[in-house]
Amino acid sequence: MKKQHIVVLLLSLALIFAALISVTLGRFHITLNELFAALTDRITGRESVSATTAAILFNVRLPRILLACLVGCCLSGAGAAYQGTFRNPMASPDILGASSGAAAGAAIAILLELSGRMVTVFAFASSLVTIALVTLVSKAARGERVLGIILAGIMVSSLANAVTSFIKLVADPNSILPEITYWLMGSLAKTKREDTLFALVPMTIGMVPLLLLRWRINLLTLPDNEAKSLGVNVNATRGAVIVCSTLITAASVSVSGLIGWVGLVVPHLARKLVGSDFRALLPTSAIGGALFLLIVDNISRNLLITEIPIGILTSVIGAPFFIWLMTRREITE
């Protein structure tokens, strides 16, 4: 068995173990025996655990654990794909403005005092609209294709951030503004089963093709003329990777808020474990991202009496990692 296979297997086992432990953590203690009994009850129709325990398990804890894994998996997978596609080790899921667009959409929905479900829908739709604008602008731009996409992402992201800032300016400071600010910090505190199901569909639609295309991402790391000489349709492949990565990023941000650094930190750690071959790097990044965000989410909801927004914790971890990369000259050279 190759080293890469062993790493993926160990990370998968660690993720399963972490998920089981996560079920037992929280203000309301639930044992693994109660978990297995509740799952058995769902199959057999019996009631061997209390209604309260079953409700917390199936309506709160399990959906949150699953969503943390899905968001971490998608953000990290998208980050790795972007880094290969744009040949930039510092690329992250928000490089094309998907996160900024989602933030603007969510801020609009909160300002209009819409329901939590509509906030998610607005964030997802706004993220897709932002990427559509980036695509249109990059096609109209002259010069090198990859650079045009990145510059268009920066420009449109800046416009989306301006919209968010204006909404914060006019929002009621006693009710609306705190809610917008909290959403922007990133959190899984209000996770419901409906949120998990809503995100699962676009995440699956984007992640499966991305995994199937992972060997072609290796070719995108080469200069375009070399990739074309190997028989690869560079524009079509790059477009497919960007669409899939953007879709899973939009789905993630729409249900979790802004959670930074996951798509930057985890792919670099995965690269240290399995190398730069995307056939192993992409699944390693995805599984590692799920494990990373699940652990951070457990810390956020159990460290203090008041839950810490998960975006704060990922920044606390990500910023020192960025400094470490700078000191190793992996950014500046």
Residue 329 scores a pLDDT above 70: no
Residue 306 has pLDDT above 50, yes or no: yes
pLDDT value for 7: 94
pLDDT of 9 higher than 50: yes
Helix, strand, coil fractions of the chain, as percent rounded to 5: 75, 0, 25
Fold of 3-327: ABC transporter involved in vitamin B12 uptake, BtuC (1.10.3470)
pLDDT value of residue 248: 95
Contact 206, 75 (CB under 8 A): no
Alpha-carbon distance of 153 to 96, in angstroms, equals: 4
Q: Which of 49-53, 86-90, 99-103, 299-303 has the lowest mean pLDDT?
A: 86-90
pLDDT higher for 325 or 150?
A: 150
- Confidence class for position 330, pLDDT limits 50, 70, 90: low
User: In the prediction, which pLDDT does 332 show?
Assistant: 45
Instruction: Give the best-scoring range by mean pLDDT among 11-15, 131-135, 231-235.
Output: 11-15
Please give the structure tokens belonging to residue 251. 């789905």
Minimum mean pLDDT among 39-53, 139-153, 211-225: which range? 139-153
Token code pair at residue 163 = 């919209």
What is the sign of the dihedral through the CA atoms of 68, 95, 276 and 237?
A: positive
List pLDDT tens digits, range 236-253.
898 899 999 999 999 999
